Amino acid sequence: MSAEQGGPADAVPNPPTSLDPDDWTALRADAHRMLDDMIDHIAQVRERPVWQPLPDDVRARFSAALPRGETPLGEVYADFTDAIAPYATGNVHPGFMGWVHGGGTAVGMLAEMLAAGLNANCGGRNHVGIEVERQIVRWVRELFGFPDTASGVFVTGSSMANFMALLVARAAALGPQVREGGLAGEPLTAYASAAAHGCVVQAADLAGLGRGAMRRIPFDAAHRIDIAALRRRIAEDRAAGFRPFLVTGSAGTVDTGAIDDLAALAQLCRDEALWFHIDGAYGSLGMLSPEIAPKLAGLSEADSIALDFHKWGQVNYDAGFLIVRDGEQHRATFAAPAAYLRRETRGLAGGSPWPCDFGPDLSRGFRALKTWFTLKTYGTERLGAMIAQTCAIARHLEARVRREPQLELLAPVTLNIVCFRYRAQSGMDADALNAEMVADLHESGMAAPSATTIDGHLAIRAAIVNHRTTYEDVDRMVDAVLKFGAARTG
């Protein structure tokens, strides 16, 4: 398919309405420059600040009116290089430790470009994009110890996957008629730790159960759901006429990385006949590491798991995923019954069930390809070692925090997240001080941790997710914290 070989694209003139270039050679030159520049951008990420604020004049460029005429690609690209590329989130940078963001890879970027070239619509039909996604489903089953009857589907992220899992659990509890008749006053209740991600509560809201239907159960000193309190609350709800249907366990909470006792939750759900879902957004991929996997004991017993390849898996955004043990239950929650029965058995319209039968999206891109490239290129051993390494760096940071008299650890370190703060002098507002210091760090361009609240205290949270982050990077971050802390309190 090279230019030298020639091809139909070179030989046949474009119809006037086509958006293809008249000069493929010029496009090829632009394309190679963009690719080279972006590879440099990633390779030289350390030489730039983690993050920098968008200057007002740059921001103003995005207020220009809808373009009516054409602009040469080179000029549009020049806008990208000076107004867009320098002001991204920063999560490609090894100094980015905020929230729980993956770092992505150049391999994932290339796969994303190839997927865009194919421009496959992976909602359905009989083509290889669907088969690649099915292979990922098989790989996730294998990784999690799920049966061959389990189904899976790519989605934007775990917010969507947690929501969809709640809908599957709801249809399992009430029967498929809930899809026609709605809740009809059924007083459904669901359960999750008070440390669960906000999207777990949001799922109950979106599904029409109301946020209050997601009972937020207290957690223990290790930030794990209090199983006895959970049992009590379920019994109280049943006695009061509610209908418990779902427990969501956390495999890596977003604030501290705590892992609920998943085996105990699995047992409780069996005893109580409840759907056992796991929000494994980032932590479930700890299964890739033989060192981390034992912490996730019980994960394989879940009815469904939400996960993000775009966090610890380092797949470029976005690549969320939902796996459901009972694939038929999953399909029965989303497949449009009439359309499903009309499906062809041969031709391009054959080969169902399709991803659109397992979620609300019809048209959808080829997220599976960048995930497939990432898993094949690096292999699970290397990815698992990278995940274990982020945890080792977090333990190094924890030890450093414990050694520094000015710093205080605010939560136990289970995986790769360290929550700490700078000690304020008496009479000083420690929360305000630490919040200012987080912003100081961001604006310094040196490191970007985030802030969260632990036991009512504002914490500096460093989540080591990026595969590029080193021991030196976290030491530099601590040095900067000590410097800014001294400057603000001195």
Ligand X SMILES: *Cc1c(COP(=O)(O)O)cnc(C)c1O
Nearer to ligand X, 100 or 299 (CB): 100
Shortest Cβ distance from residue 74 to ligand X (Å)? 35
Kindly state the smallest distance separating residue 161's Cβ from ligand X, in Å: 8
Positions touching ligand X (CB under 6 A) are: 100, 157-159, 197, 199, 252-254, 279, 281-282, 308, 320
Closer to ligand X by Cβ: residue 282 or 422: 282
Sign of CA dihedral 288, 292, 293, 295: negative
Q: How far is CA 21 from CA 12, 15, 27, 114, in A?
A: 12, 11, 7, 18
Of 157, 146, 241, 227, which Cα lies nearest the Cα of 191? 227
- Please check whether residue 46 is in contact with residue 93, taking contact to mean a CB–CB distance below 8 angstroms: yes
β-pairing, 188-193 vs 243-250, is parallel
Name the one residue in this structure whose structure tokens are 């085996």.
263
Give, as one character, the DSSP assignment of residue 352.
-
- Is residue 150 within 8 Å of residue 156, measured between CB atoms? no
Q: Which is nearer to ligand X, 283 or 485 (CB)?
A: 283
Q: How far is the CB of 197 from ligand X (least distance, A)?
A: 3
Q: Kindly state the smallest distance separating residue 252's Cβ from ligand X, in Å.
A: 6
Instruction: Report the residue number, 288 or 480, with the smaller CB distance to ligand X.
Output: 288
- DSSP per position, 49-110: -S--PPPHHHHHGGGPPPP-S---HHHHHHHIIIIIGGGS--TTSTTB-STT-----HHHHH
Give me the least distance between CB of 248 and ligand X, in Å please: 10
Q: Which is nearer to ligand X, 199 or 375 (CB)?
A: 199
Q: Please identify, using beta-carbon distances, which residue of 352 and 416 lies nearer to ligand X.
A: 416
User: What does the alpha-carbon distance between residue 430 and residue 457 come to, in Å, rounded to a whole number?
Assistant: 8
Residue 284 identity: S
Nearer to ligand X, 312 or 484 (CB): 312
Instruction: Give the residue nearest to ligand X (CB).
Output: 157
CB of 167 to ligand X, least distance (A): 16
Which token pair is 312? 């610890």
Task: For the CB of residue 101, give the shortest distance to ligand X in the complex, in Å.
Answer: 8
